[in-house]
Amino acid sequence: MIKARIAGFSSLVGFLLTIPLANYFVSRVGWECPPDAPCLIPVAPGVMSPSGVVWAGTALILRDLVQRQLGVSWSTVGVLAGAALSYWISPALALASAVAFLISELIDLAVYTPLQRKGLITAVVASSLVGLMADSISFLWLAFGSLDHLLGQALGKAWMIILSLPFLYWLRIRDRRHSCTSNRLPAGSAAVGFPTSHS
């Protein structure tokens, strides 16, 4: 139990750090950084995206871990804490990222969280399709007052989400095996009458 909580809070710290890291990239790291505009990276031939999308896949993985290890409410705590840290990079980016991530969390509550019990791939694809445009529009408009890079933002996030799927799938397989092993041993012990205490 203690190890699980430690792992959960480690995931939470990693998740909240993806928000200021994404904002740092948007403001300072990219193939080109036009004035009064996000730093950009190519995501397809002739299509540029704000560079913060490179953290989208990591955020998805860590958010999934936080939800399963600590609960959905803790992922919202991570969003608010990450946005607060982003204030030191840019107040405008902090507000924009907080709104965008909270929209994403609300969509997760409605789509991802219920579906993930039925199947990981279905849940990720469904919630991503629903949330991709909504949080991209809110972030770009609030941060830069423009939707010039909306296609690139959505496409870049889609690439990062696709790249994260194998790791998310591996995590689910690992958890399923661990659950089967831990459930099997006590049942076997009870079946053969092993004592549970030395009193």
pLDDT tens column, 134-158: 888 888 898 888 888 899 988 888 8
| Contact between residue 113 and residue 72 where contact means Cβ atoms under 8 Å apart | yes
At residue 32, the 3 state secondary structure works out as strand
Token pair of 167, please? Answer: 């790791």
199 CB-contact burial (10 Å; exposed 0-12 / middle 13-18 / buried 19+): exposed
Token pair of 133, please? Answer: 């445009």
Q: Can you give the length of the chain in residues? A: 199
Token pair of 5, please? Answer: 């909580």
Structural Rg of the chain based on CA atoms: 20
Task: Give pLDDT, residue 133.
Answer: 79
Task: Give pLDDT, residue 168.
Answer: 73
For the chain, list residues with pLDDT below 50. Answer: 185, 187-199
CA triple 164-67-20, angle to 5 deg: 65
Task: Give pLDDT, residue 124.
Answer: 66
Cα–Cα distance between 65 and 199 in angstroms, integer?
39
Q: Which residues contact 6 (CB under 8 A, 6 or more apart)?
A: none
Task: Give pLDDT, residue 193.
Answer: 41
Regarding pTM above 0.85, the answer is: no
Instruction: Give the torsion through C-alpha atoms of 66, 27, 132, 165, to 10 deg.
Output: -50
Task: Tell me the CA end-to-end span of the chain in Å, nearest whole number.
Answer: 24
Where are the chain's structural domains? 2-166
Alpha helices in 29-149 (DSSP H): 56-69, 72-86, 91-107, 113-115, 120-144
For β-strands 47-50 and 40-44, DSSP reports them as antiparallel
Q: Which of 176, 160, 168, 170 is nearest to 65 (CA)?
A: 168
